[in-house]
Amino acid sequence: MSEPVLQTKGIEKSFFGVQVLKGIDFEVRRGEIMGLVGENGAGKSTLMKIITGLYTNDGGTILFEGNPVVFPDPSKARDVGISIIHQEFNLFSQLSVAENIFLDRKDYRNRYGIVDWKKMYGDAERILRELGADLDVRTLVRQLSVREQQLVEIAKAVSANAKVLIMDEPSAALPDNEVQKMFHVVRMLKDRGVAIVYISHRMKEIEEICDRVSVLRDGRNEGVVEMSKGKVDDVISMMIGREISDYYPHSRRSFGQVVLRVEGVSGQGLEETSLEIKSGEVVGLYGLAGSGTTDFAEIVMGLSRRSAGKVFYKEAEVKRDSIKAAMSAGIAYVPPDRRKEGIIVMMDITQNTVMANLRAYEKAGVLQNKKIYEKVEEHVENLQIKCAGQSQQVLRLSGGNQQKVVLAKWLDRNPGLLILNEPTRGVDVGAKSEIYRMIDKLANEGLGILMISSEVPEVLGVSDRVVVMCRGRVTGEYVNEGIGQDVLLKAASSNAGGEENE
Amino acid sequence: MRKFLADYIKKDGNRNVVLLIVYLVIQTAAFSILLPNFMTVSNFQNLMRQSAELGMVSIPLAIVLMTGNIDLSIGSVMGVCAISMARMLRAGLPIPAAVLFTVCIGALAGSLNGFCVAKLHLDGLVATIGTQVMLRGFCYILTGGRSVSGLPSEFTRVSKMYVLGVPISFLLMLAIFAVAIFVMQKTRIGIQVHAVGYNARASRFSGIEADKIKFRLFVMSGCVAAIASMFMLMRFASAESEFANGYDTDTLVAILLGGINIAGGSGNMLGAFLGLITVAILKNGLNHIGMTATYQQFIVGLLIVISAVRLPKKRD
Amino acid sequence: MNKILKRQETLIAIFSLLVFAVFSVCSDNFFTATNIRLLFQQYAVNGICVLGVGIVVILGGIDLSAGSILAISGALGGTLVKMGVPTILSILASVLTGMFLGLVNGTIITKLHVPAIIATIATNYVFRGILVIITGGFWVNNFPKSFTSMVTGRFLGLSNVFWMAMVFLAVLTFVLHYTNFGRKIYAVGTSAETAEKCGINADRIYILGFVICGAMIGYAAMMYAGLYGAISTSGTGASLGTTVLAAALAGGINFNGRGTLIGGTIGMFLITIINNGLIQMRVSEYWINAVTGAIILLALILNAMNAKNAGRDM
């Protein structure tokens, strides 16, 4: 077996005193496709950012072709042969395909700094042709489809003579029928001897394309699996690892009337989806990135346009596509991106908490500060928000406490239905279990809860019923009694009943 | 007390307030020692009259800035309003009717800005540069290049009216400021405006209708500009095509000095008020020294740069 | 073909020709040799400035201090000419002054983190103030004939300054589209963050953009002095910043690496044609600003709409 091109030994990294990488060993060989899997927060992307020089590690070494290396920034890593393609592409939309591949490279300008367009276009065409891409290298990148943009990223790596190519969730933004085309390109690079690190949540893809898989859990190595048929179950169990029952409180309770009924709703990223939630019920909505779970929540909440279908809240139709209509009906939504959508970091706990319910505190148009103070104190107490006082800026709270503030904001409206989208993302373990307890408690109090998550153990631990989505459709629905994790993973990477042919 | 002060300064936007108060005290003291005519009743009455109109229009502009927008058309809106008002009065319209119509014209101009920003989602800077040029054009049409004067004395007289020695326009400005401070501190609008300015997406996710707020603010800005223009018209007793030209930058300067961040969100009305007073006193004092407008702008320009400098924060 | 038609440059060019045609039909005085010569001369000074400001806007910046830079550079260069310094050296001094002031702007914006609009509003005041303090607010005029005749001279029937603007347009367009540096300007304008990740020093490019802008204005200042025979230290260039910015935006240049200097040039022509034509049509002079403003607003809306639609296919 050949020597590894890229190897890490004992990589450690902490953020704000929380250790996220606890001594990671990782390697990838020439001409190998190495999968890298783990739950959200397991440390995959942190590790890759350290390798490419976006973060500096606290401990451990990176070896490239046997020599220790440290890169000040990703462009230096690229220069020696380590390229990374992020989920969000690093492209200039206003520049042409060829320029995006060769911008600022010495070989493409003469000593007066004049660009050698002929050579640039010629080489770009050659590289893209080798990748099997039929692209006009003169088009501006903003006019390309997502797959074509990905090809430009790959071409960029190839042009830099990449010996290692790291791909972070490369299929997330691709339409179904284009994933195979991407695989084709990846295999071609492998045959040329490029070492490929393939990060993905989609087990089906991992099974299909990877030679070996490294599993990370909670910032530690969990092991490396040589892939062959049937090995994917090992990977899944290594990923999840822990005993589920201790971690997730789950009371037995009876459900009440239907609080939310969604009938055949379509819209951006969503096709004819139907769903029902009863009061006191926790429904887990599971799906991978791009599966349409967030689109579903945003359409129900009136944040994005609904092109067809009906939404009922307790038998009354929620007609208008507006968040106000959804809010006044009694629906609440905790969005997935806390810092961009959930809270306003520059404002304090008080303001964030009452933001969605300001009218309730008005008397003749004037805010009743005393009433606000008392109510917010109540929330701080009930949700155990750890802070120096409610006038503290939310910026200075930990992730878990910030999430509790978002929760407080919506509970303040006394909703009948609570939609939680990735409620434990970027939250430490302690706060996670507090949030799970909170969900259980709220359901016992009679709220209907829809919890969207891309973490299987969480979904299975918290939900009464699990709905799985893939590519904008519901692909499975299960009562949560002894369903296997593999069932959910398979449903989440299925093709909605073989609708592949267009 | 020391802790309170330390906390206060740490809060975003308050740094400038504290610095400004210190600066204002030093500046006023210096002028009153150096200039014999500075600390006189008539000078202060003058100062108040001059700063009243600037103060009025800076109020809605400050709030517009807090939402992360900008309005560079205020001077032109004032011009159109004042000239229309003057022509209406010349045509013999009763004063109350003329006032009403003028405010409507201001509101109309404001809603044009609001439409561009809140409905067409144009960049506020781009849109209001456009309306600035266009409305200034209307000023030329309305005057036909001649100055409109000969206004009824019942109207112009108002600028010389005092309550307890304070000009009426200044009192009105204080009143509007008081209302604005009240609204921003005590009603939901305050929280919503800051929320939109800091993070438009998160505020939309909390059910705040940013577009509606922005539209109303621009309309409000137009109305206040109309009122301010009337007082200016009383003072000058005539209106020409260049009426209030360049007023938008003067207003912006006063507000920026007060520590309102042009990127939206932070800042408070007290800062805007202090910024305004600082600029007014500075200009007045420099006038007494005999400095021309250009000199004054030089000093104001330096002050803006100093107050806008944000040293980079360390990245995590 | 469709692609070319959709470009803002093309739209504005067609629109300009249309306006030109309307004026030619409606006014006997518009389409005459004398007036066409006048029109190109009216265009020339602003036309040089729009090249510099255009680069700044492509970079995502804004320069509202252009007027003051013009006044300072022109006053300095003009004084040197009067003192008998050779014309070439005086122009060089004016250009260097412009570059220095551009450097000041760029440095304040990138190193002190002051938003470009605030910084240049402030420096507009400061530069003007310095000038008035130094000169005492006087006019700089009575230039030697040797200087003015060079500037007011004609080549192929059109003003020399117009030809200079065309030369600069060609040179800068070449720089923007065919040199590594020029492509980096577009890259930084599109996304400074991405540029940094690709190992490009975005701050440096940004500052250099402002320096080039200053150079253009510095040159234009001497042309202004020669054409109009005087620089008012307190008044010259007062509305230049807005006019030139409006022309750039109307011509399809936008704050995110969009647009070309050719577009900005066409935008400036449009504004000049409208101004000149309305006067020739004996439209009351007072309508001119309103019509100009309305057309600029229209072009700006068009530009913003274009940018938004194009943003969507990303």
Taking only the tens place, the pLDDT of each residue in A37-77 is: 887 667 888 899 999 988 888 888 999 998 999 988 888 88
Residue A498 in this model has a pLDDT that exceeds 50: no
Taking residues A463-487, report their average pLDDT: 87
**Interface probe with B: pick from C62, C113, C114, C284, most Cβ of B within 10 Å:** C114
Taking residues C143-169, report their average pLDDT: 87
Contact indicator for C75, C191 with CB cutoff of 8 Å: no
Instruction: Give the range with max mean pLDDT: A3-7, A167-171, A456-460, C64-68.
Output: C64-68
Place of tokens 């609708």: A499
Q: What is the Cα Rg of chain B in Å?
A: 20
State whether ipTM is beyond 0.90: no
Q: Name the nearest CA neighbour of B105 among B273, B251, B222, B265.
A: B222
pLDDT of residue B39: 82
B13 confidence band (pLDDT: 50, 70, 90)? low
Residue B5 in this model has a pLDDT that exceeds 70: no
pLDDT of residue B300: 78
Q: Name the nearest CA neighbour of B55 among B237, B177, B154.
A: B177
C4 confidence band (pLDDT: 50, 70, 90)? low
In the chain, the amino acid numbered A384 is: Q
Higher pLDDT, A346 or B83: B83
C59 confidence band (pLDDT: 50, 70, 90)? very high
pLDDT of residue B315: 35
Judge: B122–C300 Cβ closer than 8 Å, yes or no: yes
A502 confidence band (pLDDT: 50, 70, 90)? very low
**Parent domain of A357:** 337-413
Residue B55 burial (CB count, 10 A): 25
Taking only the tens place, the pLDDT of each residue in C226-248 is: 988 888 887 888 778 888 988 88
- Residue % of chain A over a pLDDT of 90: 36
**Chain C residues in contact with B148 (beta carbon < 8 A):** none
A102 and A193 assigned to the same domain: yes
Dihedral of alpha carbons C248, C254, C255, C257, sign: negative
pLDDT of residue B275: 86
Last residue of a domain, one of A216, A243, A270: A243
A189 and A136 assigned to the same domain: yes
Taking only the tens place, the pLDDT of each residue in A276-302 is: 999 999 999 998 777 889 999 999 998
**Interface probe with A: pick from B182, B205, B261, most Cβ of A within 10 Å:** B205
* Partner C contacted by B289 (CB < 8 A): no
Last residue of a domain, one of A413, A435, A462: A413
Judge: C308–B125 Cβ closer than 8 Å, yes or no: no
C133 confidence band (pLDDT: 50, 70, 90)? confident
In C, what residues contact A, Cβ < 8 A?
A: 178-181, 183-184, 186-187, 189-191, 194-200, 256-258, 310-311, 313-314
B10 confidence band (pLDDT: 50, 70, 90)? low
- Domain residue limits, chain B: 12-307
Higher pLDDT, B304 or A113: A113
**Chain B residues in contact with C63 (beta carbon < 8 A):** none
Q: What is the DSSP letter of A339?
A: I
Judge: C122–B141 Cβ closer than 8 Å, yes or no: no
Q: Name the nearest CA neighbour of A435 among A411, A471, A415.
A: A411
Taking only the tens place, the pLDDT of each residue in B183-196 is: 988 899 989 999 99
pLDDT of residue C2: 55
Residue C313 in this model has a pLDDT that exceeds 60: no
Higher pLDDT, A260 or A247: A260
Q: Tokens for C143?
A: 């230039």
Q: Tokens for A313?
A: 């809240």
Taking residues A442-464, report their average pLDDT: 89
d(CA C109, CA C111): 6
- What angle in degrees, to the nearest 10, is found between the helix axes of B269-289 and B41-66? 140
Last residue of a domain, one of A380, A413, A446: A413
Q: Characterize the bridge pairing of strands A331-334 and A4-15.
A: unpaired
pLDDT of residue C311: 41
Judge: A347–B201 Cβ closer than 8 Å, yes or no: no
Average pLDDT taken over every residue of chain A: 86
Residue B14 in this model has a pLDDT that exceeds 70: no
Residue A214 in this model has a pLDDT that exceeds 60: yes
Contact indicator for A452, A297 with CB cutoff of 8 Å: yes
Higher pLDDT, B179 or B121: B179
pLDDT of residue A181: 85
CATH number of the domain where residue A454 is located: 3.40.50.300
A244 confidence band (pLDDT: 50, 70, 90)? very low
Number of domains in chain A: 3
**Chain B residues in contact with C118 (beta carbon < 8 A):** 256, 262, 304-305, 308
Taking residues C129-150, report their average pLDDT: 84
pLDDT of residue C175: 94
d(CA A33, CA A50): 20
Residue A6 in this model has a pLDDT that exceeds 80: yes
pLDDT of residue B152: 87
pLDDT of residue B186: 87
A210 and A280 assigned to the same domain: no
Average pLDDT taken over every residue of chain B: 84
Taking residues A190-215, report their average pLDDT: 88
Residue B147 in this model has a pLDDT that exceeds 90: no
Taking residues A93-99, report their average pLDDT: 91
Contact indicator for A212, A35 with CB cutoff of 8 Å: yes
Q: Characterize the bridge pairing of strands A164-168 and A195-199.
A: parallel
Calculate the CA A414 to chain-centre distance.
29
Q: Tokens for B96?
A: 């109350």
| CATH class held by domain B12-307 | mainly alpha
**Chain C residues in contact with A142 (beta carbon < 8 A):** 310-311, 313-314
Average pLDDT taken over every residue of chain C: 86
pLDDT of residue C210: 97
Higher pLDDT, B16 or A472: A472
pLDDT of residue C5: 56
* Partner C contacted by A75 (CB < 8 A): yes
A497 confidence band (pLDDT: 50, 70, 90)? very low
Judge: B205–A335 Cβ closer than 8 Å, yes or no: yes
DSSP annotation string for chain B: -HHHHHHHHHSTTHHHHHHHHHHHHHHHHHHHHH-TTTTSHHHHHHHHHHHHHHHHHHHHHHHHHHTT-----HHHHHHHHHHHHHHHHHTT--HHHHHHHHHHHHHHHHHHHHIIIIIS---HHHHHHHHHHHHHHHHHHHHTTS-B----HHHHGGGG-EETTEEHHHHHHHHHHHHHHHHHHHSHHHHHHHHHHH-HHHHHTTT--HHHHHHHHHHHHHHHHHHHHHHHHHHHS-B-TTTTTTHHHHHHHHHHHTT--TTSS---HHHHHHHHHHHHHHHHHHHHHT--HHHHHHHHHHHHHHHH--PPPPP-
Higher pLDDT, A152 or A205: A152
Range in B3-17, C62-76, C167-181, C260-274 the model is least confident about:
B3-17
d(CA B39, CA A23): 72
Higher pLDDT, A449 or A133: A449
Q: Name the nearest CA neighbour of B232 among B142, B297, B167, B163.
A: B167
Taking only the tens place, the pLDDT of each residue in B51-63 is: 898 899 999 999 9
Judge: C293–B133 Cβ closer than 8 Å, yes or no: yes
**Chain A residues in contact with C186 (beta carbon < 8 A):** 92, 94-95
DSSP annotation string for A153-190: HHHHHHHTT-SEEEEESTTTTS-GGGHHHHHHHHHHHH
Distance from CA of A500 to the nearest CA of B (A): 35
d(CA A149, CA A147): 5
Minimum Cα–Cα distance from A369: chain B residue:
B186
Distance from CA of C292 to the nearest CA of B (A): 7
A409 and A446 assigned to the same domain: no
